[in-house]
A and B are shown apart, each in its own frame.
Chain A
Amino acid sequence: NIDPELLLPKLPSPDELKPFPTTCAVVFRGHEGRVRSVSVDPQGTFLASGGDDGHVRIWELLTGRQVWNVRLSDEDAVDTVRWRPGKDASVLAAAAGEHIYLIVPFSILSPDIEQSSRDILDAGWGYAASKPSATTNGAPAKEPPARWSRPSTRLESKGVLVQTTVRSTVKVVHWHRRGEYFATVSPRGQSSAVAIHTLSKHLTQLPFRRLKGLAQSAQFHPSKPVFFVATKNSIRSYDLSRQELVKILQPGAKWISSFDVHPGGDNLIVGTYDKRLLWHDLDLSTKPYKTLRYHKEAIRAVRFHQGGLPLFADASDDGSLQIFHGKVVGDLMENATIVPLKVLRGHQVKSRLGVMDMDWHPREPWCVSAGADGTCRLWS
């Protein structure tokens, strides 16, 4: 008579898995209405946020001091803000409506970093004019996938230097690790839902003309030329160099809200509006290796720590974030160790919306969250 419990691998206790975030260290106040997106800059010094008030704001991460802001739109919410990777330049991408704005917040930058950031954004001006698209060869000119233009003088004076306009509202921006490409997702954009933009050429391409299902999110593989696209029910990975489909993951979800690829590239987490968090091992199966059901409401964001700590987290409309230990082992035959560590509570639920987005600090076991209650929070 063997107790079946004894056959299960023993999970380490949370106390043995420190450090991880446990308490709210800073509340960021200033947005009017929901905060929809947060992003910590590559240095780990500043927090960028965007929300229903149409503003992008930048804050000192450790004090909660607002150091910069701009109103991008009177009508549209800022749905997403994402810092460009890399420390030699400081560029923030923000999307409001069908516009993606590229921002150099010069008032918090040294002149040399301002200059290198401007150079990166300025390189592409005139490229489209000098090299007309091959598809217009002889045929009547098609509407381009995106228009790259200079924003208004008001925005330019704040450091908003490039405006890229696509065909419908952008909900997701994801940078390639080298900062030369970024992908955007416009769920209602049909054939133009997923776009890949080349910064140095001010060029926009639409790699997926016939996407099956409503696009939800998209992401570059952390090291290989592979691109992931999530629709409502599945996640497809494509080999960008061969331009072919590699794999279709079936999380078994009713509606995927977000996903994130592990920095090692072989594992992936998925959050769903039907309250589930799923872990996929890309080597194992197209079905999830683990399904975690801890939240009472929809999960809106999932994110791996990118700085070498075995942590991941999700953000939910129940007003909480859940922190997990997620250790990936090199051995192909061994599965990842997943341990729930901590529920972070503090955000108020407003009109059934709780935590809209989250991000990790680039080095430390700290995370930030965007609340429907109008605050951002740093957890450490």
Chain B
Amino acid sequence: WTGSELKLEMEAEEVVDLIKALFAESDYRRKAIGAIRRATLRRYALSSLVNSLLHTKKPIPFEFLINGQFLRTSIDEFLTQNGISAESTLNVEYTRALIPPLHVASFEHDDWVSAVDVLSQTSPAGVWSGEHGIQSGQEQILTASYDGLLRVWNLSGDAIAISTPPYNSGRITSLKTAKWLSNKKIVAAGLDNVVRVYKYDEDTRAITQSLELYNHRWGVEDVAVHGPTNRILSASTDATISLFSATAKDSPAAPSTLLPTSTTASNKRQKLSKPEKSVPTRGALTTLSGHTAPASNVIFKPEDATVAYSASHDHTLRTWDLPTSTCVDTRTTSHSLLSLTALPKLNLLATGTSARHITLIDPRASATQIAVMTLRGHLNAVVSLDTNPNSEYGLVSASHDGTCRIWDVRSVKPNAGAMVDGGQVGESVYVVEREGMGGKSKASGDGVKVFGVRWDADVGIVSTGEDKRVQINRGVGERGGG
């Protein structure tokens, strides 16, 4: 028995003996023992039992895992569903329950909001910015919109800084992705194929372009950033991944055929809308080729920025060795892959599909199964994923069905049958609807699609969508929830 983990590797009668030894005779003890003997204990009863055993002042909601899976029924039903004999020894663990993430705030935009990132003491960019980078309570939210603008928000809902649209010779400016590189630098990209680096000055409330990076022939769907090495990865509809430096002096010249000034017609339009001050243009350090259809997402491997993972509409998830620019592993699934996040402690990658589910893949060379697990429940494409900052088992997904779903990979659906790509089937713990839409999530996503989600330990679950809003949800009584 430890403060954080209760392991009961014993038979029911042994637990009863233990409870008798630890607790004085009372009505409560009698009821608990009766429930254990009848094997009718459900999560709530177990939670009360553990709270009383731990002498907690305020009850903490606990979840129970039996042999690694969440208990969602009585123990008896669980044993029946999983075909476990009543005589066998169960491995029982308890864990603090996920708290329903309630709506905290929504900030309105003029147009669809495609992506969001959070700057906090615990966010990657916050950590890279050092201890004076960001103060508690001064967290900031970055959004990218189809109107072509970046906005930085404080938690009171004030848009404290807004970028100006780029000069790109009459091309579309809609943004698809944006990330904090540090507390003073932002990277963003979208349908005009250019990856842009911005300086952010909190004092003057200015977002100013500092570098334009050219390498893509079609729109950029996603960027990943790594502060310590100042590197940027971008995933494009042109099926390539680019590796850029965020610093002009480290970068080669931009490919001339991709510059807006490269063609007569384009150059003429560029002259008609000449910027006051020109922004330096550069090219990529390397291009990662191999995908045969649009690349939708790219991430650095957590804790090793020399490795990248990418997901593509070509159904594959690829592992790249960045120093040699080679694809070292390809995992082929059955569907277009639209989103990607890592569960580093479990050595898993989670990828969202056009076929409405999330596939968990072990990218290590030793793994033989295509999918370790499939998370089912969304009614439309899963287009954004992030990891629970408080639990190595948790993640959040955003879908065109108008919801975000919270998952714990230990929440397994019994008797769900084998998936096409193999593995177990998981089900979501909570569903977050769009606020103010009257619960109108719908399979077709008509008007309610969610496009981006981030889960920050300090701010909570921050999501954006077709409703032109960034929405914050958080477990009540806790910062960050979970």
| Residues of A bordering B, CB below 8 Å | 19, 23-27, 29, 43-45, 60, 62-65, 67-68, 106-115, 118, 346, 363-364, 366, 377, 380
Contacts and interface: CB of A to CB of B under 8 A. Distances in A.
A342 to B, nearest CB: 15
B287 to A, nearest CB: 14
A118 B218 contact: no
B189 interface: no
23 contacts: A19-B355, A25-B354, A25-B380, A25-B445, A27-B444, A45-B218, A45-B219, A45-B237, A62-B354, A63-B400, A63-B449, A65-B112, A67-B174, A106-B171, A109-B171, A110-B218, A110-B258, A112-B257, A112-B258, A112-B262, A115-B266, A118-B263, A366-B354
Given A110-B218, A114-B266, A115-B262, A67 B191 contact: yes
A118 B172 contact: no
Given A25-B445, A63-B451, A107 B170 contact: yes
A105 B403 CA distance: 33
Interface in B24-38: none
Nearest to B260: A111
A34 B114 CA distance: 29
A67 B383 CA distance: 19
A43 B237 contact: yes
Interface in B213-268: 216-219, 237, 257-260, 262-263, 265-266
Main secondary structure of the interface of B (DSSP, over half): loop
Contacts, number: 103
B354 A364 contact: yes
Given A25-B445, A106-B170, A62 B381 contact: yes
Contact of B354 (A346, A377, A380): A380
Given A108-B172, A111-B262, 15 more contacts: A23-B380, A24-B444, A26-B445, A27-B446, A62-B338, A63-B400, A108-B219, A110-B258, A112-B258, A112-B263, A113-B217, A115-B257, A366-B354, A380-B354, A380-B381
Contacts of A45: 218-219, 237, 294
A16 B146 CA distance: 40
Given A43-B294, A364-B336, A111 B257 contact: yes
Interface size range on B against A? 35 or more
B23 to A, nearest CB: 54
A75 B22 CA distance: 88
Contact of B146 (A65, A109, A114): A65
A331 B466 CA distance: 50
Interface in B250-290: 257-260, 262-263, 265-266
Contact of A108 (B171, B294, B466): B171
Contact of A114 (B265, B293, B443, B449): B265
A377 B444 CA distance: 9
Nearest to A158: B170
Contacts of A109: 171
A114 B257 CA distance: 10
B334 interface: yes
Given A111-B260, A363-B293, A25 B381 contact: yes
Nearest to B170: A107
A111 B258 contact: yes
Contacts of A44: 293-294, 313
B193 interface: yes
